[in-house]
């Protein structure tokens, strides 16, 4: 009896192609909202440096959630094209 009930509830009538479900209309807009993911760290400023031995040179400040994405943004924003220079980048949290 329980197996029949499960089988009956799992059948869905096929939707004609081209029709959208309400969930399909709402989901893309909700996934863009930065407040949806409560576990994500907050966006903060990162100071980007380029290390040369014991010295480091200031490159700039970028906004990102983590150091890896901050380095990626710095590479694109400051157009660091040399692979050797990209390997030497370091992100430190900005203290306000």
- What are the pLDDT tens digits along the chain (96 aa)? 555 555 555 566 665 555 545 444 444 444 455 555 566 667 789 999 999 889 999 999 999 988 999 999 999 999 999 999 999 999 999 876
Percent over 70 (pLDDT), the chain: 56
What pLDDT is stored for residue 95 in this prediction? 79
Tokens for 4? 């029949």
What pLDDT is stored for residue 14 in this prediction? 61
In sequence order, the 6+-apart residues with CB closer than 8 A to the CB of 57 are 49, 50
CA–CA distance, 64 with 30 (Å, rounded to integer)? 20
67-73: which pairs have CB atoms within 8 A and are 24 or more residues apart?
67/91, 70/46
The answer to whether 80 touches 74, Cβ cutoff 8 Å, is: yes
What pLDDT is stored for residue 86 in this prediction? 94
């Amino acid at each position: 009896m329980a197996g029949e009930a499960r089988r009956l509830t799992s059948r869905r009538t096929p939707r004609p192609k081209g029709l959208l479900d309400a969930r399909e209309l709402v989901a893309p807009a909700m996934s863009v909202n930065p407040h949806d993911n409560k576990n994500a760290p907050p966006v903060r400023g990162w100071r980007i440096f380029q290390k040369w031995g014991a010295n480091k040179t200031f490159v700039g400040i970028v906004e990102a959630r983590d150091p890896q994405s901050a380095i990626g943004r710095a590479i694109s924003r400051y157009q660091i094209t040399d692979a050797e220079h990209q390997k030497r980048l370091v992100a430190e949290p900005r203290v306000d």
